[in-house]
């Protein structure tokens, strides 16, 4: 750890909207870990746009982090245009760098592209989905992601990966920069209200979402790689075997890569008479997400790819049983879960029938202490930023 009487100022550029709630949750959990275990050797700043949704800003502010609002991050604002033009012409972001200098920022953490800032930089590459599932992306996206990832690898002083599975990918695709890779497995902090949820809350939830029997919960964005179609195929197979599962799916019902995808899922449910078995709830309040987790039979993640799933992490932190696709990262993250073959609706259907049977006794999940896991996460991150700052003896790079 850096031993310095003066606090080190670390800056973050977290997600600016609700299009990637997994990213928002990731940053909130990181901020909470830093706040909870801080030894006062550093102070953290989150830089966000002035037009950012107030509820997202509130989430960051609740994490006891200093939030700086600036129009530089408001897309198409005057400051945004000027900053971009100067960046394009001179190769430097003068306005952004002046802002960082104003707050004595020594280090920018978790960058996901070349930010052209005059500070030490820690990059973050959540996953390498585009290299494993290129068909999920347009040609333009593939080119942009390749360029962005390579830029992060080459310009960052260290690169954080969320799993050893992702580290293996980093070393494979960027062997020249393998020495920069560091694994920091984030830990989800459950909300305080979770332990206080009661039978009355369960009944209110059932009335709100018309829940008439025990259910499986799937809290995922409606992106094609999240594998909702395989889930629907599996539910249909389960019905044909005499089962009557109820699956609740929440998340933003949009896939920017394929506008017809969500409509096709809704149509499939209707065409196959699954209205009483599958409910699409859309984007729901944060409290309802955790309430649905608590009162579910188990939580299901059928995804075809993950970096380090926030859903899995949330369930681990509250001791919730999960059924997961058999990805290497899922087995790394939650080895005691139930697994099914990611490309087999038959495999998932078999698990659904078994786990929802009235005679099946769901196991009690026992995890290492949340406090210990969070503290380990904090220590790993502090080690990373300390190593980076030691690259520059002056430490305050933006002064």
DSSP for 25-90 reads: HHHHHHHHHHHHH--SSEEEEEEE-TTS-HHHHHHHHTTT-EEEE-GGGSTTSHHHHHHHHHHHHH
* Residue pLDDT, tens place only, 251-270: 999 988 888 999 999 999 99
Considering the domain architecture, whether residues 137 and 249 belong to the same structural domain is answered as no
* Residue pLDDT, tens place only, 45-80: 999 999 999 999 999 999 989 999 999 999 999 999
Residue 71 domain flag = yes
Considering the domain architecture, whether residues 61 and 152 belong to the same structural domain is answered as yes
Domain count, the chain: 2
CATH number, residue 38: 3.40.50.2000
Two tokens at 340?
A: 């099914």
Burial classification of residue 284, based on how many CB atoms lie within 10 Å of its CB (0-12 exposed, 13-18 middle, 19 or more buried): middle
**Is residue 185 over pLDDT 90?**
yes
**Is residue 99 over pLDDT 90?**
yes
Residue 1 domain flag = no
At 235 the pLDDT is 99
Contacts of 390 (CB under 8 A, 6+ apart): 2
Considering the domain architecture, whether residues 200 and 311 belong to the same structural domain is answered as yes
Domain that holds residue 150: 8-185+373-389
Considering the domain architecture, whether residues 127 and 180 belong to the same structural domain is answered as yes
Considering the domain architecture, whether residues 302 and 349 belong to the same structural domain is answered as yes
Q: pTM of the full predicted structure?
A: 0.87
Considering the domain architecture, whether residues 150 and 288 belong to the same structural domain is answered as no
Residue 360 domain flag = no
Q: Are 352 and 369 a contacting pair, CB within 8 Å?
A: no
Bridge partners, residue 183, by sequence? 161
Residue 367 domain flag = no
Q: Are 194 and 294 a contacting pair, CB within 8 Å?
A: yes
Average pLDDT over residues 197-206: 97
Residue 397 domain flag = no
Locate all alpha helices (DSSP H) within 244-361, ordered by sequence.
261-271, 286-295, 310-318, 328-333, 345-355
Q: Residue 8 is inside which H or E element, if any?
A: strand 8-12
Residue 281 domain flag = yes
**Is residue 394 over pLDDT 60?**
no
């Amino acid at each position: 750890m850096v031993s310095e009487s003066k606090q080190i100022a670390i800056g973050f550029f977290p997600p600016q909207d609700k299009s990637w709630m997994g990213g928002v949750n990731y940053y909130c959990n990181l901020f909470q870990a830093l706040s909870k275990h801080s030894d006062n050797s550093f102070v953290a700043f989150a830089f966000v746009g002035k037009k950012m949704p107030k509820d997202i800003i509130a989430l960051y502010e609740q994490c006891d982090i200093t939030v700086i609002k600036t129009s530089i991050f408001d897309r198409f604002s005057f400051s945004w245009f000027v900053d971009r033009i100067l960046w394009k012409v001179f190769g430097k972001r003068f306005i952004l760098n002046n802002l960082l200098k104003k707050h004595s920022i020594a280090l920018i953490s978790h960058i996901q592209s070349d930010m052209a800032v005059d500070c030490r930089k820690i990059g973050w590459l959540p996953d390498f989905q585009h290299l494993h599932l290129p068909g999920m992306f347009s040609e333009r996206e593939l080119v942009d992601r390749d360029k962005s990832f390579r830029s992060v690898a080459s310009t960052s002083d260290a690169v954080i990966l969320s799993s050893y599975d992702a580290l293996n990918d980093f070393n494979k695709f960027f062997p020249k920069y393998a020495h920069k890779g560091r694994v920091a497995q984030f830990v989800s902090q459950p909300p305080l209200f979770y332990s206080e949820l009661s039978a009355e809350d369960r009944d209110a939830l059932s009335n709100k979402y018309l829940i008439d029997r025990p259910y499986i919960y799937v809290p995922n964005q409606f992106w094609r790689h999240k594998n909702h179609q395989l889930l629907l195929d599996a539910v249909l197979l389960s019905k044909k075997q005499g089962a009557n599962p109820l699956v609740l799916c929440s998340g933003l019902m949009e896939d920017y890569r394929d506008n017809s995808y969500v409509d096709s899922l809704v149509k499939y449910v209707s065409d196959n008479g699954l209205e009483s078995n599958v409910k699409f709830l859309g984007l729901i309040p944060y409290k309802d997400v955790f309430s649905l987790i608590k009162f579910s039979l188990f939580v299901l993640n059928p995804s075809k790819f993950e970096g380090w799933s926030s859903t899995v992490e949330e369930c681990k932190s509250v001791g919730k049983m999960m059924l997961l696709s058999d990805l290497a990262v899922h087995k790394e993250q939650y080895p005691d879960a139930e697994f099914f073959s990611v490309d087999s609706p038959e495999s998932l259907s078999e698990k659904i029938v078994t786990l929802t049977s009235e005679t099946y006794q769901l196991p009690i999940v026992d995890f290492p202490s949340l406090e210990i896991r969070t503290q380990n996460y904090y220590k790993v991150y502090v080690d990373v930023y300390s190593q980076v700052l030691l690259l520059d003896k002056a430490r305050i790079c933006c002064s």
